[in-house]
Amino acid sequence: MTLASQFESVQDRLAGFREEVIEISGDVGTIGGELRELARAEARLAAAETREQVGVVARLSVAGGIAVVFALLASVFMFLTVMFALDLVLPLWAASLITTLAIVVLLAMSALYARGVAKRISPMPKRTIASIQEDIKWARQQLTSNGR
């Protein structure tokens, strides 16, 4: 093998390497652009999910406020009725005590229910976080498969 043929062989290899480097840099640029677009899409998804949660909380607050006003009015009259009905067979102090204990039991049950409902409200955009984790996994797979 002559020096000229070895030189041509090295030039051919370098040309092949150059083409491969150009192809890889194009792939990296494409992946970078796709990752930027993906990040924008994830940001839009997070904003939409947050707006959805805020809307649910707002509707819950308005409906709950109205219900509380009417429930308070109704419960005052209902408990007064119970107390005066018990007053027919018991002394007034005993009727008042029994009625108050009933109110405390109902209060405790309502508080436990409200706590259960409050636990369902999520300040974290869980779907968005899961989607971002999937995207990161995909990007890593793309980078490792292009690196081979």
**What pLDDT was estimated at residue 28?**
77
**What pLDDT was estimated at residue 130?**
82
Burial classification of residue 42, based on how many CB atoms lie within 10 Å of its CB (0-12 exposed, 13-18 middle, 19 or more buried): middle
What type of residue is 61? S
Distance CA 103, CA 117 (A): 21
**What pLDDT was estimated at residue 45?**
86
What's the Cα-to-Cα distance from 92 to each of 27, 48, 61, 74, 96, rounded to whole Å? 86, 57, 38, 21, 6
**What pLDDT was estimated at residue 1?**
60
pTM above the 0.75 mark?
Answer: no
Kindly give, in sequence order, each residue whose CB lies less than 8 Å from that of residue 84, ignoring residues fewer than 6 positions away: 95
The tokens for 111 are: 């508080």
Tens of pLDDT along the chain (148 residues) come to 677 677 677 777 777 777 777 777 777 778 888 888 888 888 888 888 888 888 888 889 999 999 999 989 998 999 999 999 999 999 999 999 999 999 999 999 999 999 998 888 877 777 778 888 888 888 888 777 765 5
Contact 124, 56 (CB under 8 A): no
Extents of the domains making up the chain: 7-123
**What pLDDT was estimated at residue 40?**
87
HEC assignment per residue over 80-141: HHHHHHHHCCCCHHHHHHHHHHHHHHHHHHHHHHHHHHHHCCCCCCHHHHHHHHHHHHHHHH
